[in-house]
């Protein structure tokens, strides 16, 4: 006899498939939730790592700022020390100049002429003196012009001395220059 299955197999198959679908859906949801949890943990970990790096960079920048300020103060101190050293070197270098200037003033002084006063302002020397004749004053101007230490002698005043007709009083200015060192002098040193 033929057997007839009267059980509702289609409903059972449908219920089985629905149960498998729900199981798969729950499994996918659990896996997705786990993945989201892992991803969130990874993102939080990276954020914390970046925050620690930012904090390290900030503290390093503060240290570098302090060092930069210290370097700037040291540079300022260095500049002031260098300027002081330059002033001292200039003073050391120009110390013998005044001796040479006075020596040159004596060497250029012709007979029959003497100085009453010498005043120096910047590179200009004001000379006041007395001479026996105008020729002596002209000789002084030629000697000063020929000197390595002086240039541009300028006679500003010549007058006869009251009470002594033999003397002429004069006033002149001359520019003090630094002589150029020639190759012969460099080789001799």
With beta carbons less than 8 A apart as the criterion, state whether 177 and 122 touch. no
Structurally, how many domains does the chain consist of? 1
Q: Which residues pair with 154 in a beta bridge?
A: 173
Residue 162, in any domain of the structure: yes
pLDDT of residue 78: 96
How large is the average pLDDT for residues 52-77?
A: 96
Residue 42, in any domain of the structure: no
123-128, Cβ contacts within 8 angstroms, sequence gap of 24 or more: 123/175, 123/176, 123/177, 124/173, 124/174, 124/175, 124/176, 125/101, 125/150, 125/173, 125/174, 125/175, 125/176, 126/171, 126/172, 126/173, 127/170, 127/171, 127/172, 127/173, 127/174, 128/169, 128/170, 128/171
Per-residue tokens: 87: 């002033």
Residue 160, in any domain of the structure: yes
**What mean pLDDT value characterizes the chain?**
87
How large is the average pLDDT for residues 78-86?
A: 94
154-158, Cβ contacts within 8 angstroms, sequence gap of 24 or more: 158/134
> What is the CATH number for 160?
3.30.70.2830
pLDDT-derived band of residue 164, with 50, 70 and 90 as boundaries?
Answer: low
To which residue do tokens 């020729």 refer?
135
pLDDT-derived band of residue 189, with 50, 70 and 90 as boundaries?
Answer: very low
How large is the average pLDDT for residues 77-97?
A: 86
Residue 119, in any domain of the structure: yes
**Could you tell me the residue range of the domain that residue 171 belongs to?**
108-181
Residue 129, in any domain of the structure: yes
Question: What are 14-41's pLDDT values in tens digits?
Answer: 999 999 999 999 999 999 999 999 999 9
pLDDT-derived band of residue 168, with 50, 70 and 90 as boundaries?
Answer: confident
């Amino acid at each position: 006899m033929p057997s007839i299955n009267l059980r509702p197999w289609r409903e059972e198959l449908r219920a089985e498939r629905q149960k498998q679908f729900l199981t798969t859906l729950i499994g996918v949801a659990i896996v997705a939730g786990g993945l989201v949890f892992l991803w969130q943990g990874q993102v939080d970990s990276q954020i914390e790592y970046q925050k620690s790096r930012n904090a390290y960079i900030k503290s390093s920048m503060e240290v570098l700022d302090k060092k930069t300020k210290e370097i700037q103060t040291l540079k300022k101190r260095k500049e002031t020390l260098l300027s002081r050293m330059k002033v001292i070197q200039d003073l050391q270098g120009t110390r013998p100049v005044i001796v040479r200037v006075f020596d040159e003033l004596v060497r250029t002084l012709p007979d029959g002429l003497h100085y009453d006063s010498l005043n120096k302002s910047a590179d200009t020397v004001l000379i006041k003196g007395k001479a026996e004749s105008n020729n002596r004053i002209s000789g002084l101007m030629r000697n000063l012009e020929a000197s390595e230490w002086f240039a541009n002698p300028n006679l500003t005043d010549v007058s006869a001395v009251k009470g002594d007709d033999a003397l002429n009083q004069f006033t002149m200015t001359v520019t003090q220059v630094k002589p150029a060192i020639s190759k012969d002098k460099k080789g001799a040193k």
